[in-house]
Each structure stands twice: as structure tokens, then as C-alpha cells.
Structure 1
Amino acid sequence: MSDTPNSQRTGPVQPARRAHRHGAASTPAVGADPDAALLDADDAMHLLIRTGFAPAPAEIGPYVGLTRAAAVERVLATTRVDAVTPLPAWSAEIPLTRAQRNALTPEARRAAQRQRGQHYDELRAWWMREILITPSPLTERMTLFWHNHFATGEDKVPEPLLMAEQNALFRRNALGSFATLLHEVAKDPAMLLYLDGASNRKGKPNENFAREVMELFTLGEGQYSQQDVAEAARAYTGWGVDPDTWRYVWRPAEHDDGVKTVLGKSGTFDGDAMLDILLGEPQTARFVSAKLWREFVSDTPDPAQLDTVAARFRASGYDIKAALGALLVTPAFWDERNRGVLVSSPVEFIAGTVRRFEVGYASTAMFAHTSAALGENLFYPPNVKGWPGGVMWINSATLLARKQFVEQLFRATEATRPRMANSMMKTVEIARAGAPASGAMKPQPRAMPGGMRFDLDGWLGHYGLTADTVPGLSAQLQMQHAILPLAPVDAIAAGSSAGAYLEALLMDPVYQLK
């Protein structure tokens, strides 16, 4: 970045890599151990935004001056296995049995459907609240990662309780053993319903799970044959879901115990043995490591560095924390060329803004609705492949809705707070109107309680400014470094107040990047 302030430019410019860096030097000398490089404020921001949802200013300081290895270790040490906040009260209720469901009158059935939708909305609001207040953003990022990796959703899972329990399963194993996670999610009732595993029986095998567990969960496309799928489907027969309790059940009479040949191996495999065969394939470690790379580093993995991460993952017995630790200390993760190259998902964009600016709110339901309008409807991925992510998060409608969210943030004062619900609803409706029809866009417009409260002067006080102060060059550069991964691309009017300058930074396309 040059010393010419962006406010003096005469027009938009192309994204620029930061040439100006402040704080401790982050680039090690030639021949030095890169893990010994000390983090400056930019490095700390990069690490925390990639492994979380954008940090508040106070969260950055403890990482400045640490080595890369120590900083990564500190992030990994914060992870949790359970949620901070309790689930909605209905999660403790016993679901209706099959007989009770069949006995419902048409009116009661419609009421039950409405209640089901309300419960899913409450579950989405609950997870957004967990994301916003968790002391371990990485835990929620990984829970969200596994929700997308093992995609299941509302369209085929009738009980919201099952999705709540699956969410807990992902969080419990978020940075634990991938082998354990794979085995548990394969028998998870939500997964069994979503991929029709509950209807897979001897003589009438359903191949959906057998195919997706190879293509999407372990090996990747082109690593297996249709014959492998057909044979593996026989191994998973006998797994089911009790229609009264919605729990996993084993039905030995429906299991095909004959010899199967899958990926060159033959035997009387059952489902667990089949999963172990997939875990025994070196390609599984590489495939999952590549997905982690695209989530945390860049869209294009470096083959040699990816091999190192995959080898560590496999050697550790599929320890997710070990794989992620190896990934976050690769030279590629810290490379300047890999900063600002990933697009923030709707959840990351919303949660990052709220956390970074310490925004107050009366309810998280509006954040969940806005995320759905932007294309990421929690517990409702568009299909079994999950959300495509990347540049697919951005189109004319969603970019407009993201900018309107920023506008709402700057209107979120005590005097204008009552206008927030209507403004937020307009954002949802505009974004939905221009969005493709998919599972991600299903929710219908609903009133949104509560509103945001942003202490603008309080945040600007970190830089010795108030909203009406005209910031000097130094303050402008400090705000740019605090907000954007790259130099802004749009011109900002000369003489803008600090409040207007900050809003312009958040309106800049670069704010969508991480």
C-alpha cells in the first residue's frame, strides 16, 4: 500500500497487496525457520479471521509477538466439545410416536408442520447466538465445516431435534478423530434419513449413502467405480431409524452378510468394516486435507505442502487437530499472496461484523434470516454437496444485501433502533427476489424482532476518533489494516468523517474477502 490515502484517489483501483506493514516483522530472514517468525498485527488478524469470525480489537493483541507455531497452538488450545448456550426448550421434549403422528387430524397435522418450521427457525437463531458468543470461534467454524462436508438438512429430516443432535455430534468431534466422526455420522439418524440409509435393506440396497460417502466424504470423484458403490451399499444394509424414538437401530435380519468386493478387497463386510476400508485408503487423508486447505488457505492447494499435511493427518490416526495444526503452519497459509483470496460466507460476514464491532442485539433471529437471504440457510444446505462457497456466495442480489446490512449497522443507534426490523426485512426480500430457487432460500418472510446497537464512537475511540472527526492519513491506514485484508478498491471522498470513512471501508468489495 502506498502512502497516498485512498480518499485522494480519483477513481476505483484494482486490489493491491499490502506493501506497508506495521508492527513486528513477520517475514523471516533467508534461511531462518519460518515457524520462528513473529506475528505482527496483520498476521494476528489473518490467523484469527481465517480460523474464526473476525476478532474484536482486544483479541488481536495477545497474538502479536508470538511465533507462528505458538500462535497456532494458542488457537487450537481454545477448542471445545460442547456448546456454551443451552438448546431451545423444545429439544428436551419427547417426539410423537408413529402412531401418534398417524392419528393427527388434518388441522393438527398442519399445526405440527408450522411448529416444525418455527423450531427450525429457533434452532438457526440458537446456532447464530452460539457463533456470536463462543470463546472458541474455531470450534464453530469447524462445526460449520462438518455441517457442509456431511451435508444434511431440513427438507428430508422431519424432526429438528435430530439436526440439533447432529450439530452436537459435529461440535463434539470438530477437532477430534475424523475416523470417529465418520463412524458416528454414518449412523446418525439425520444422515440415515437424508441419504436414505434407513431404507437400505438386504435384497433392495439403496446406493445413496454408499456413493456419497465415497465421493463427498472420503475419496472424492473418480476414485471408485459404480461396482464399488453397489457392493458397498450391501455392507450398509441393516442400519435403520426407529420410527417411534427417531433413534438408530440395528436390524440384523435386513443386513446382507454375503461376500462383497470393494476397492479390491473382499469379505463379509458390514457397514463399520466398510468405513474402515475407506479410512485405510491414503486418498481419504488427502481428500479431506484438500477440503481443509480450500477452507482455510486458498482455492488451489500447493501439492507438496498438501502432501505434508495429508501425511501428518494419516500418521496421527486421523486427528483433525493435528491436520489443522500442520495446515496452519505451512508457508502457504502465511504467504501474502494467499491473503484476501477467499470470500467470506454469509455466516462469516454477519458474525464477523457483529463480533469485530462488538455490536449489541436483542435477538439473533434476524442474523439467521439474513444469512438465509444471502444464501446460507443453516440446517438447510441446497443439496447433498452442501454450499458451493467461494465466488458463488456473491451475486448482484447478495452483494446488495450485504451492503444493506452494513447500512443497517450504521443506522443502529438508540434513536433509530425501531427501524431495524423493517429495514432487515427489506434486505431479506430484496436478496430473495434475485436469488436462485434452492433449499438455501426456502424461508418465507417473517417479522424480525430486536435490532442491532453499534457504539460507533466507542469503536472509533480505539483510534482516538469520534464519528464526526476527519481522520488523518495515519488513522485511515490503521482503520484499513483493522478492517480489510487488502487495500480498498473504491475511492473514498476526501475530507470524509471517521464514521463515513469506516462505512466506506465496509462497503468496499474487499470487505467481503478474508
Structure 2
Amino acid sequence: MPSSVETELLDADDARHLLIRTGFAPAGADLAPYVGLTRAEAVDRVLATARTEAVTPLPAWCAEPLPTRGRHYDELRAWWMGEMLVTPSPVTERMTLFWHNHFTSGQDKVPEPQMMAQQNSLLRRHALGNFATMLHEVAKDPAMLLYLDGASNRKGKPNENFAREVMELFTLGEGQYTQQDVAEAARAYTGWAVDSDTGQFVSRPAQHDDGVKTVLGHSGPFDGDAMLDILLGEPQTAHFVAAKMWREFVSDTPDTAQLDHVAAHFRASRYDISTALRALLLMPAFWDERNRGVLVSSPVTFIVGTIRRFGVTYGDTAPFARTSAALGENLFYPPNVKGWPGGVAWINSSTLLARKQFVEQLFRATEAARPRMAAAMTKTAAKAPPRTQGGMRFDLDGWLARYGLSASDKPDLSQQLQMQHAVLPLAPVDAIAAGSSAQAYLQALLMDPVYQLT
């Protein structure tokens, strides 16, 4: 029998909470199909959109022979921002972004952008699939082998980097293994390499140490795949990954009992990610009012969410990728092996100012979107509309029309509250000048610190 949590019906605020946490800020029209569904039905609807491939084709150079070096990385970043902006399955891209920060690799040690494009496709293919399968494939991914020095790990001269990070960052977490476990595990991964001509994974038996290893209490002539299976056999792995998902989608502080429940579902399903995410999204903690507006939007979710929420049109997506990098999240270039720390680390005086400048650019884009204003411009000015990031165009009047307003109208209290609910998870903390026009009122909401929260 379904629990009472699962059978509660969603209102618009609930639907917005679900969609913004599992994807990016939704447009108003995206909410309607979810309002009135039970929580279980709504979660299942989100998961049913999951994809294994992007809807936009990768840049043509991704299929070119190596090398191209780093000259295409900016184009790859712009491509992924574009995919996130148009995907019909935001949960797929949100989970791909999550795994990008879990299985960390980056441009600083992976000179070939084709390799990072290949890894990105791998993460998307398994984003809501099977974690065990993804772990095995990531371990042999050329970008990962280069990033964590696995490609130089050979018999007699083992490199411990991958062996350590696969335990600490990918499966068990800190304090769950010893240095001796790392040293022995490193021997198991010897012989995995990257072909210098093709950039593909190769196994070199002559460089593999086939002797007996003892790791986490298990002994045998383990190879790399056997070693990964040992890690997957540890109950701590399901708990560690479930805890990271909790911090990404619910709150910074997991509830012990509810997290144990999610981890148990994850392990019992043999690491089915959709099963774990479904269990997480149907925990009471996910829907608890105290856990709404407590997570800080990452630069990518802030930018993509804003554009999707307001139906903003745009041309080039490269400026969005550059803005994300300036805000601290440079796709395919994490700060270190631990990835981006997230949370409050996203916000400081510099990045908060830059986020507000992005909102200002959005409202400058309303000028270029108004036919009446464009008609009133001189011919010279009409040929050169206000410069906005990414060629953005925001139909402000069209967005406000759902509340019976135009930009110059003064919203009444009911209209103000409707606008608040549409864009903020909590009430604004800054006072808004009385008598503000609808445009000024909306801009004040987006300038409020609460707009940075989900």
C-alpha cells in the first residue's frame, strides 16, 4: 500500500519544488501537468522522461581524429549549455551534471575535448540507469584514466591515484579504507591504458600485476573489474552515494533514518539509480517545508533555470557558459579531484554581484523584445538593439500577461503574491518599494537573495 506521503496531491508550489529540484526552474506551462497528481505519480512522471542521449547533436569535431587539443573546449561547454536549455528531460541533464561532479575529470589534465565529450555521453547514458555499470565504464573511460593517472599505472610501478579516489570519492568515502588497501588495489588496476593514436581504452596484460592482493578483507588475484565489484559489495557504497544525492536534491544535512531507507532501496535494486532517486523524492524530508529554499542554485542551474523559467530566447549559448565559469562553475574544468564543493561556496560578494548583473541583462533584453519600443526607435538604433548576453530576448509583457499585467502596471497585493510564488521558494527578504511597476517588482524579486535558493 502506498504511504500517505506518496498519495498527497500536488499544488502549484509543490510541482514547482519538484521540478526545480530535479531539473531547472520550470516555465509556468510546465507545472500544469503535475498539479493534482499524487506525489508518487508526479515523481514517476519526472522519471519517465529520462533519456540516454542528448537531443542536440555533438559538434562535428567530436568525431574527428585526435588531436584537436583544447581549442574546442569552449564550444563543448556552449553545446552542453544549449542541451540543458532545450532538453525535454531536465532530470536527465541535472543527473548528468550531478555525475560530472561525482566522477570528476577536467580540462587541466585531459587535453582532448573529444575525450570529455565521450565521458559526457557516458554519464548521460547511465544518468538514471545502473550505478554499478556506470562505475565499471567510468573506470575505463579515457578521460578518467588520464585525469587520475590510471593510464600510467603498470606492474612494478603502480600509481595509486585512481585506487584512492575510486574509494574516497566514488564509492566508500573518507575513513572507510586504509593506505594498505589503496596500495593493494592500485595493483589490481595495472595494465589499463589509453591508446595514444586512437585515444581509446586498451588493456595491456603484460603490464598487469596478476599476483594476489588483499583489499578490505578480501584476498585474490584481482583485476580492476574484480576490485570494483568488491567496492560495490560494500554496504557503505550505497549509503555514500545516496548521501551525495540527498545533499544535491534535499538538504545539506541528511536525516539518518530516511537516508538509510533510500540506501537500502539503492542496494536492494542492485544500484538502480532511478529506484534510489524515486525513494529519495518520496521521503517526507523532500517535501518538508523546512527543506524548501535551503539549497543554493549552482551557476549552471541559476542561468539555465532563469532562461527556461521566463521563456527567454537567445542566439549564441557561449556567453552563458562563460558567465557560468565566471560564477565559479566552468563546465569540464572542476577545481580539483573533489569537484565543486557547492552549497554556500557558490556565493560570495563577487559572484552575488555577477548573478545580479545577469538579472540586469535579462531586463535589458526586454527592451529588444518589445515591438512598440522597437518601432519608436530611430532607424539607426533599430539596426543595433541593446546588446544583451547571448542575444537574449525576454518578452516581459507576455510573461506578465498571465497575471493580467503589463510592465508599467502596478500589481495589487494578490498579483504581487502570485509573482512571488512563481519565482521564489520563500518570501523575499528585502523590502520592495511601494507602488513599484510590475517590471520593477519582478526585477526586485529576482534581485532578492532568496532568488539564489531552491
How high is the TM-score relative to the length of structure 2? 0.95
Gaps of 5+ in 1: 1-30, 97-111, 425-449
Offset of residue 420 of structure 1 = 2.8
Establish whether residue 193 from structure 1 lines up as the match of residue 164 from structure 2.
Answer: no
- Which of residues 37, 40, 47 in structure 2 aligns to 1:66? 37
Gaps of 5+ in 2: 369-373, 375-380
Residue pair 1:40, 1:65 contacting (<8 A) in 2 also: yes
Aligned residue in 2 for 1:54: 25
- 2:29 alignment partner AA: A
- 1:191 alignment partner AA: M
Aligned residue in 2 for 1:218: 171
1:32–1:234 CA distance, 2 compared to 1 (3 A):
closer
**1:347-391 superposed Cα distances (whole Å, 9 cap, x missing partner):** 000000000000010110010000000000000000100000000
Establish whether residue 490 from structure 1 lines up as the match of residue 430 from structure 2.
Answer: yes
- Aligned partner of residue 361 in structure 1, secondary structure: coil
Aligned residue in 1 for 2:49: 78
Whole-Å separation in 2 of the counterparts to 1:49 and 1:84: 20
Aligned residue in 2 for 1:501: 441
- Aligned partner of residue 360 in structure 1, secondary structure: coil
Establish whether residue 512 from structure 1 lines up as the match of residue 438 from structure 2.
Answer: no
Establish whether residue 296 from structure 1 lines up as the match of residue 296 from structure 2.
Answer: no
Residue pair 1:201, 1:237 contacting (<8 A) in 2 also: yes
Equivalence map 1:347-358=2 (5 Å)? 347-358=300-311
Whole-Å separation in 2 of the counterparts to 1:65 and 1:246: 50
Whole-Å separation in 2 of the counterparts to 1:225 and 1:32: 41
Aligned residue in 2 for 1:481: 421
Establish whether residue 344 from structure 1 lines up as the match of residue 297 from structure 2.
Answer: yes
1:32–1:304 CA distance, 2 compared to 1 (3 A):
closer
Aligned residue in 1 for 2:259: 306
- Which of residues 114, 119, 135 in structure 1 aligns to 2:88? 135
Establish whether residue 420 from structure 1 lines up as the match of residue 376 from structure 2.
Answer: no
Whole-Å separation in 2 of the counterparts to 1:237 and 1:224: 20
**1:172-216 superposed Cα distances (whole Å, 9 cap, x missing partner):** 000000000000000000000000000000000000000000000
Offset of residue 419 of structure 1 = 4.0
Establish whether residue 227 from structure 1 lines up as the match of residue 183 from structure 2.
Answer: no
Establish whether residue 165 from structure 1 lines up as the match of residue 105 from structure 2.
Answer: no
Establish whether residue 361 from structure 1 lines up as the match of residue 314 from structure 2.
Answer: yes
- 1:309 alignment partner AA: V
Offset of residue 317 of structure 1 = 0.5
- 1:484 alignment partner AA: L
Residue pair 1:360, 1:454 contacting (<8 A) in 2 also: yes
Residue pair 2:150, 2:193 contacting (<8 A) in 1 also: yes
- Which of residues 404, 412, 419 in structure 2 aligns to 1:464? 404
Whole-Å separation in 2 of the counterparts to 1:306 and 1:478: 34
Residue pair 2:243, 2:254 contacting (<8 A) in 1 also: yes
Establish whether residue 400 from structure 1 lines up as the match of residue 353 from structure 2.
Answer: yes
Residue pair 1:418, 1:451 contacting (<8 A) in 2 also: no
Whole-Å separation in 1 of the counterparts to 2:430 and 2:51: 40
Aligned residue in 2 for 1:327: 280
Whole-Å separation in 1 of the counterparts to 2:439 and 2:336: 41
Aligned residue in 1 for 2:97: 144
**1:19-64 superposed Cα distances (whole Å, 9 cap, x missing partner):** xxxxxxxxxxxx9812111000100000000001100000001101
Aligned residue in 2 for 1:94: 65
- 1:40 alignment partner AA: D
**1:196-250 superposed Cα distances (whole Å, 9 cap, x missing partner):** 0000000000000000000000000000000000000000000000001000000
Whole-Å separation in 2 of the counterparts to 1:179 and 1:165: 19
Residue pair 2:70, 2:111 contacting (<8 A) in 1 also: no
- Aligned partner of residue 193 in structure 2, secondary structure: strand
- 2:60 alignment partner AA: A
Whole-Å separation in 2 of the counterparts to 1:51 and 1:375: 21
Offset of residue 117 of structure 1 = 3.6
- Runs of 4 or more consecutive aligned structure 1 residues displaced over 3 Å after TM superposition: 415-419
Whole-Å separation in 2 of the counterparts to 1:362 and 1:309: 42
Offset of residue 118 of structure 1 = 3.4
- Aligned partner of residue 331 in structure 2, secondary structure: coil
- Aligned partner of residue 54 in structure 1, secondary structure: coil
- After superposition, the CA RMSD in angstroms is 1.2
Q: How many residues align?
A: 439
The answer to which structure, 1 or 2, has the higher relative contact order (CA under 8 A, 6+ apart) is 1
Q: Percent identity over the alignment?
A: 79
- Which of residues 201, 217, 223 in structure 2 aligns to 1:270? 223
Offset of residue 95 of structure 1 = 1.4
Whole-Å separation in 2 of the counterparts to 1:407 and 1:47: 27
Offset of residue 269 of structure 1 = 0.3
- 2:77 alignment partner AA: R
- Aligned partner of residue 45 in structure 1, secondary structure: helix
Offset of residue 280 of structure 1 = 0.1
Equivalence map 1:1-80=2 (5 Å)? 33-80=4-51
Whole-Å separation in 2 of the counterparts to 1:118 and 1:202: 35
- 2:174 alignment partner AA: E
Residue pair 1:463, 1:475 contacting (<8 A) in 2 also: yes
Aligned residue in 1 for 2:391: 451
Deviates more, 1:84-93 or 1:490-499: 84-93
**1:305-325 superposed Cα distances (whole Å, 9 cap, x missing partner):** 000000000000000000000
Residue pair 2:70, 2:112 contacting (<8 A) in 1 also: no
Aligned residue in 2 for 1:13: none
**1:437-490 superposed Cα distances (whole Å, 9 cap, x missing partner):** xxxxxxxxxxxxx41100000000111100000000000000000000000000
**1:242-266 superposed Cα distances (whole Å, 9 cap, x missing partner):** 0010000000000000000000010
Offset of residue 89 of structure 1 = 1.4
Aligned residue in 2 for 1:447: none
How high is the TM-score relative to the length of structure 1? 0.84
Whole-Å separation in 1 of the counterparts to 2:292 and 2:229: 37
- 2:235 alignment partner AA: P
Residue pair 1:479, 1:502 contacting (<8 A) in 2 also: yes
Whole-Å separation in 2 of the counterparts to 1:280 and 1:418: 60
- Aligned partner of residue 249 in structure 1, secondary structure: strand
Whole-Å separation in 1 of the counterparts to 2:214 and 2:347: 44
